[in-house]
Amino acid sequence: MNNDKKTKSTIMKSRRDFIKAASAASGIAALGGVAPMLMSKKANAAPREMTLLAWYGHGEKDIVEAFEQANNCKVKAKYYTGGDNMLALIAQSPPGTYDVVLSDAEYVLQLKEAGFVEKLNPSDYPFDDYWPEFQRFGGHWSGKELYSVALRFGFLGVSYNSENISEKEAMSYSLLWDEKLKGRVGHFDWHLPNLGCMSMYMGNPNPYDINQKKFEALTSKTMEIRSQVNGFYDYGGTFSSLKNGQIQAMCGIGDWITGVLQKDGSPVRTVIPEEGGLQWTESLCIGKNAKNHDLARKFIQYMSSPEGQVRSANMAAYPAAIVNKKAWELLAKVTPEEAKRQRMELGKDNVISDIRNGRVKYRTLPVQQSLETWNDFWLEYKNS
Amino acid sequence: MGLISNRSIFSAFFSFPPLIYQLAFFVFPLFFLLVLSFWSVKFYRVQPDFTFSNWLYIFEKGYFWKSYGWTFSLAAMTSIIASVIAFPASYYISFKLSENIKRIVLLSLIVPFFTSYLVRIYSWQVFLNDNGIINAALDYIGVGAVAMINTKLGSVIGYLTLSLPLVILLQVFSLSNIDRNLVEAAHNLKCSPLKTIFLVVIPAARVGLVLAALFCFILSFGDFVSPIYLGGATTQTLSILIIDLSKAGQQWPRAAVVAITMIVTLLATTFLALRFAYKGKS
């Protein structure tokens, strides 16, 4: 109960700070785009409804409220869990059902191939303000054609209970084999991040691009930790098992879960081990035949602007690193503690340095095997 | 003649809605499930087809048979445990309690159903966690922590939460209908109480006892909540497999194969159980 209050008060404090700083910075170019949007608001018109397909949290008040007010619209969100689920929801809906689709980067080209998303005009979006790594992000472009705009990212490594495990121990995936963690290792129930981390541990420079021999070595190595595993968890189960101490270590999750728990006072952390970590990247697309194409474009513009980016970095559901360099400047003013916690401080060793020094690799779909092969192994692993 | 015909129309009128309901919400979906198992999935989209590939795919997978084995044995184990635990209570309620107290006890057995099953299972987590109430108590008296959550034991506790009150109720109804003269005759003929139970009471209540165990088996066999939230999905049951298959690549046709296999298993079990229950009875 106290923790809940603490979380709420932290969020409220952040919002107040945000409003304060946003007012103070009203003259800066970063927020300049908001004023015209406010001016164009038609006070008497009924609000339009913009549909959004996304992971949980992206359509909540803390993210979309200002956009809704500025554009006299309501964002109606449909949430999914996992890329397969997202593709299925789009595939089973008539074209035009979703105006905006938030996708994990590895699924964007599949969306494009299936004709589920529109081609975008690069000049509509502030790529010049983006970190170079996210300007021509692999998987968002097909040749010179843009299909998605990067929104945020995070790293996946080893998450652990800092009361019982030291940072030094957590700096290697070998922790998962440690006898003292028997029955204390958990899995987020998705093969892609788990096997990707295992592949990093085995020294594969491209964790998802491995030949059959290496894939077999990966599966047999992974099988070795099955006896250590206490449970396979969904989103909610991962939170509660880490919070109540049932699980002491996990691989393949990151600050998107432990960051929320940390804010709540739980002694859990995530580190990128010596063997390296993975990067997840979320991006925004416009759905094919979107009924509110103009609003969808404005929404992506808003979310890629410093204000939208800062909101995204502080998202109550799960925080993440942001891709707009100018937004880092605003973040330092609005929520400096979050900028520090998420290592998004300019001029210091930060998350971009981690990408540049090769410590993290993009999470992708398997290259030399089918997704089904990886999934089949995961079912066998769960059943062993 | 006219009266009979009016009566027939009258009964047909009232039996029609349940028939329509059964057709619309049971027979038709079941038929569709069977048809779906022959369809295929192309790029996350289920498409009409006629292929046996889903059946071959599932039946060739070792993990399917392993899940099948665990699901069947955990459900069977739960039925046996529930029947054994429930019987002394049911016997006491049926034979020893006054009618008034019996009504109160029966009402108390219905009360658990007032609360959502999911909520009851979540509340078990507080007790069964390694840092939970039971382990804290064990720790206090010097016994080390016992792993209960995310184990098969956790799943069985969940299954029992779902089915035990129902098993007791069914056993009580069955035992209450036993002809008391048979029990008294056994006593008069110097049959010991224990022998009376095994030679008179249980055979006389056989149909009800088997039905109670059967209901427990059916509820446990198809349950999804307990193996996920108390079993931690560490023992994969067929219900979890259905979820995994539908999540991964939207393989609803493969999930349909698993579902049909479950239905056929339950029908076969029910047939055999009823045959055993009514064996030798007119």
Domain ranges of chain A: 2-147+281-344, 154-276+360-383
- Which comes out higher in pLDDT, residue B243 or A20? B243
- Contact status of A84 with chain B (Cβ, < 8 Å): yes
- Contact status of B149 with chain A (Cβ, < 8 Å): yes
- Contact status of B73 with chain A (Cβ, < 8 Å): no
Q: Is residue B102 part of a domain?
A: yes
Query: Are A264 and A3 a contacting pair, CB within 8 Å?
Result: yes
Mark which residues 174-193 of B lie under 8 Å from A by CB.
none
Q: What percent of chain B has pLDDT over 90?
A: 72
Q: Is residue B218 part of a domain?
A: yes
Cβ <8 Å between B249 and A372: yes
Whether A39 has a pLDDT exceeding 70, the answer reads no
- Contact status of B129 with chain A (Cβ, < 8 Å): yes
Whether A301 has a pLDDT exceeding 60, the answer reads yes
Average of pLDDT values for B21-26? 92
Distance CA(A251)–CA(A278), nearest Å, equals 10
Cα of A162 to nearest chain B Cα, Å: 17
Nearest by CB to residue A231, choosing from B62, B234, B247, is B234
Pure H helices in chain B:
2-22, 28-36, 53-60, 62-95, 99-110, 117-128, 133-140, 152-176, 180-188, 193-196, 202-204, 206-222, 225-229, 238-247, 252-277
10 Å CB burial of residue A353 (0-12, 13-18, 19+) is exposed
Q: Is residue B33 part of a domain?
A: no
Nearest by CB to residue B233, choosing from A85, A189, A372, is A189
Distance CA(A284)–CA(A87), nearest Å, equals 14
Provide the pLDDT for residue A82: 81
Superfamily, domain A154-276+360-383: Periplasmic binding protein-like II (3.40.190.10)
Neighbours of A154 (CB within 10 A): 24
Whether A22 has a pLDDT exceeding 80, the answer reads no
Distance CA(B243)–CA(B236), nearest Å, equals 11
Cα of B37 to nearest chain A Cα, Å: 18
Query: Are A86 and A101 a contacting pair, CB within 8 Å?
Result: yes
Provide the pLDDT for residue B86: 97
Nearest by CB to residue B44, choosing from A91, A233, A234, is A91
Provide the pLDDT confidence category of residue B2 given band limits of 50, 70 and 90. low
- Chain A hits for B46, Cβ within 8 Å: 92
Neighbours of A40 (CB within 10 A): 11
- Nearest 5°: the CA angle B107, B110, B112 is 125
Nearest by CB to residue A232, choosing from B45, B234, B247, is B234
Cβ <8 Å between B232 and A233: yes
Instruction: List pLDDT tens digits, range A134-171.
Output: 999 988 999 999 999 999 999 999 999 999 999 999 99
Beta bridge partners of A50: A75
**A2-147+281-344 and A154-276+360-383 in the same fold:** yes
Nearest to A282 by CA among A88, A86, A142, A99: A86
Nearest by CB to residue A383, choosing from B63, B149, B247, is B63
Q: Which domain holds residue B84?
A: 63-277
Q: Is the dihedral of CA B163, B167, B168, B169 positive or negative?
A: positive
Cβ <8 Å between A383 and B244: no
Assess: ipTM above 0.95.
no
- Chain B hits for A376, Cβ within 8 Å: 61
* Helices B117-128, B152-176: crossing angle, 10 deg rounding: 130
Lowest mean pLDDT among A336-340, A358-362, B10-14, B184-188: B10-14
Distance CA(A342)–CA(A322), nearest Å, equals 10
- Chain A hits for B248, Cβ within 8 Å: 84, 371-372, 375
Cα of A88 to nearest chain B Cα, Å: 5
- Contact status of B236 with chain A (Cβ, < 8 Å): yes
- Contact status of A236 with chain B (Cβ, < 8 Å): no
| Range picked from A34-43, A233-242, B154-163 for highest mean pLDDT | B154-163
Residue with tokens 């005009």: A121
Whether A210 has a pLDDT exceeding 90, the answer reads yes
- Contact status of B131 with chain A (Cβ, < 8 Å): yes
10 Å CB burial of residue B281 (0-12, 13-18, 19+) is exposed
Q: Where are the beta strands (DSSP E) in chain A?
A: 48-55, 73-80, 100-104, 141-142, 145-146, 149-161, 185-188, 229-233, 249-254, 268-271, 277-286, 321-322, 360-362
Structure tokens that stand for A336 in this block = 């400096």
Whether A384 has a pLDDT exceeding 90, the answer reads no
Cα of B5 to nearest chain A Cα, Å: 50
Q: Is residue B213 part of a domain?
A: yes
Q: Is residue B53 part of a domain?
A: no
Distance CA(A123)–CA(B259), nearest Å, equals 51
Q: How much is the mean pLDDT over chain A?
A: 88
Residue B120: CATH number of its domain: 1.10.3720.10
Provide the pLDDT confidence category of residue A356 given band limits of 50, 70 and 90. very high
Q: Which residues contact A160 (CB under 8 A, 6 or more apart)?
A: A169, A170, A175, A248, A249, A250, A268, A269, A270, A271
- Which comes out higher in pLDDT, residue B124 or A8? B124
Total count of domains within chain B: 1
* Residue A238 identity (one-letter amino acid): T
Instruction: List pLDDT tens digits, range B77-98.
Output: 999 999 999 999 999 999 999 9
Whether A12 has a pLDDT exceeding 50, the answer reads no
Instruction: List pLDDT tens digits, range A221-256.
Output: 999 999 999 999 988 889 989 998 889 999 999 988
Structure tokens that stand for A190 in this block = 């998705």
Provide the pLDDT for residue A3: 40
Provide the pLDDT for residue A30: 40
Mark which residues 245-274 of B lie under 8 Å from A by CB.
247-250
Q: Is residue B36 part of a domain?
A: no
- Chain B hits for A232, Cβ within 8 Å: 232-234
Nearest by CB to residue B131, choosing from A234, A245, A375, is A245
- Contact status of A374 with chain B (Cβ, < 8 Å): no
Instruction: List pLDDT tens digits, range A41-91.
Output: 444 578 999 999 999 999 999 999 999 999 999 999 999 988 888 988 898
Which residue of A161, A164, A241, A382 to mutate against B (max B Cβ within 10 Å)?
Answer: A382
Whether A19 has a pLDDT exceeding 60, the answer reads no
Provide the pLDDT confidence category of residue A98 given band limits of 50, 70 and 90. very high
Size of interface A-B (CB pairs under 8 A): 73
Cβ <8 Å between A379 and B241: yes
Which residue of A188, A374, A383 to mutate against B (max B Cβ within 10 Å)?
Answer: A383
**CATH 3.40.190.10 matches A2-147+281-344:** yes
Q: Is residue B16 part of a domain?
A: no
